[in-house]
Amino acid sequence: MVVKYVDESGNQVGMPKFLTGNVGESYDTTAVELPAGYALAGSTSIENATGTYTKDPITVTYTVKKISNTEAATQALDRVAAVPTDQLATNKVSISNVHFNKSVVKESQGLDIDYAYDWTGKGLVKGDTLVSEMPAAFTSITKLVETPFYSGNDEIGVLVLDYTNHKIYTRFTGEMDPNKIYNGSINIATFVDRNHFKEVENDEMIQLQMPDGTTVERPLHVTFDAAQISPQLTLVSVYANESKDNPDKSMDVKWATTINKAGIDLNEAVVYLSPDTVLGIDPEFTKLGYDREGNLIGDPSSSYKAINPEYDGNALYKINKDSIEVYEANIHDSMGYEVTKKLVAGTDYKLVENSSSPNAYVIEFIGDYVKTNKSFVITYGGRVADSSSDRVAINQAVTDSLLAYYEGPYSQLPLTKVRGL
C-alpha cells in the first residue's frame, strides 16, 4: 500500500511511503511519520487510515500543512527525547569520511562551515535514534534545527540540532528493513562561535563526537579580521544573536550591540538602536559659527542638542522596549563577549524613544557612567510580523546602532564623535 501526502492545494509533499503485509493482516498508517516540517491540516478523519490488506492496491492520502521550523524541530526533539535506551542505535551504525568543507574560516569571508560524514547501518528499525555532542566551537542563530536525511533517494530520518544543549539527534523515521544495509551522507551546515574562539587568530583541533560513539579530530583555523579591516567596529558593532519562528508565521529576532571594545574615554555617551538602516546624521549644536564660505552652521566645539539620525524607513519590526538590556562586558578580540554586570535603567542609563523614528530607542548613559572607558553589550529584539511572506526573510530583518559621545578629557568636551554601523 502507498501512503501519500499533499498540501491543502493538492500538491504532493515529499516522497510517498510504502507499507507491505499479507492479505487479511491489519495495517495502521497513523504510525507513519509525516514529512519533516509538516503537520496534519484540519481535523477530518483520513479514509482508510487503518484497515486490513486486500489483494487490491490501497492508497491513503494525508493532507498536511507547513509548520514553522522551530515548531517542527521542537516536535522532533520531543520525540527523540522520549526514545527508550533500547532504541539507541549506536552499535548499528558505522561512520567514515569525516571532514570539514574548509580548514580555514575567515570572518570577512563568512563564518559558515560544514562538516560531513558517510554512514552505513544494518539492523535498523523505525524509531532507532543516535545521540552525539554538538561541538562547542559551533553555533547558529536558530537554536533548534530539524532537517531530513536520506539513503539514496529515500528520506529515512530526521536530524535535530539542539544548540542550546549542544546535542545532535539522528532519528530513523522510515519503515526500515532490519535485514537491509542502508547508507548515505549527512552534511551539517553551521557557523563558528565567536564566543568560543576569542582571539583574532585561533587554531584548534576540533573534537567531533560521531553518532557511532567514536570521536575524531579535525584541525581548524579561525580568523576574526572584521575589526582589523574596519577599526570603528571596536567602538560599535552589531550582530544577530538568535531567531525563532512562531506558529503564527511571525519571527522573533534578537540582536547584540557591542560598545567600546577599544576602551576609549566616552563622555555623555548615547547609543541609538534602530530596526532601520541609519543613512546619516544632522546634529544640532548649542552654539553657532561660520564655515569658510561664511555660512552660519552649528559649532561642533559646543555641546550638541540632538544628533538627528536619518533612517531609511524600511523597518520590518519594532524593537520591544522590554527586551532591551544593558551590561558591562568583557569583549574578546573576536568581538564575542561575556557580560559581567547588568546596568539599572533609571540609575545607570535612561531609555527614551527617538523622536525622529517611532521604531528606535536611545540609551543615554548617566550616573557613574557619564564618564567611562568601560565596554558594554546591549541586547534587544523584536517580532517580524510574518516571516513566511516573500517580502520578509531573516536576511531582510536588520538593525543598526549608532554611538555618539564627547571625546577627550571630560572637563574639556571639545568635540562630538559619532560612530555608526
Domain 226-420, what architecture? Sandwich (2.60)
Tell me which fold the domain 70-223 belongs to.
Immunoglobulin-like (2.60.40)
Q: Cα dist. 383→145, 255, 361 in Å?
A: 19, 12, 16
Cβ contacts of 166 within 8 Å, gap of 6 or more: 133, 134, 135, 136
Residue in 63, 48, 76, 52 with CA at minimum distance from that of residue 4:
63
Specify the 3-state DSSP secondary structure of 310: strand
Domain boundaries, the chain: 2-66, 70-223, 226-420
Cell of 42: 484540519
Residue whose grid cell is 572637563:
411
pLDDT of 290-311, one tens digit each?
Answer: 667 766 665 666 666 677 778 8
Residue whose grid cell is 544593558:
326
Global confidence as pTM: 0.77
Does CATH number 3.10.20 belong to domain 2-66?
Answer: yes
pLDDT of 200-246, one tens digit each?
Answer: 999 999 999 988 889 999 999 999 999 999 999 999 999 999 988 88
Separation CA 147–CA 247 (nearest Å): 18
- Average pLDDT of the segment spanning 45-55: 82
Q: Fold identical between 2-66 and 70-223?
A: no
**Rounded to the nearest 5 degrees, what angle is found at the Cα of 28, between the Cα atoms of 73 and 122?**
65
Q: What percent of the chain has pLDDT over 90?
A: 45
Q: Does residue 393 carry a pLDDT above 60?
A: no
pLDDT of 327-352, one tens digit each?
Answer: 999 999 999 999 999 999 999 999 99
Separation CA 16–CA 5 (nearest Å): 7
What are residue 229's phi and psi, to 5 degrees?
Answer: -75, -40
Helix (H), strand (E) at residue 227: helix 226-229
Position with higher pLDDT, 40 vs 143 = 143
pLDDT of 75-134, one tens digit each?
Answer: 666 665 666 666 678 889 999 999 999 999 999 999 999 999 999 999 998 888 888 889
Q: Which residues of 124-145 are buried (b: 16+ CB within 10 A; e: fewer)?
A: bebbbbbbbebbebbbbbbbbb
Residue in 309, 285, 420, 402 with CA at minimum distance from that of residue 357:
309
Cβ contacts of 411 within 8 Å, gap of 6 or more: none
Cell of 48: 482508510
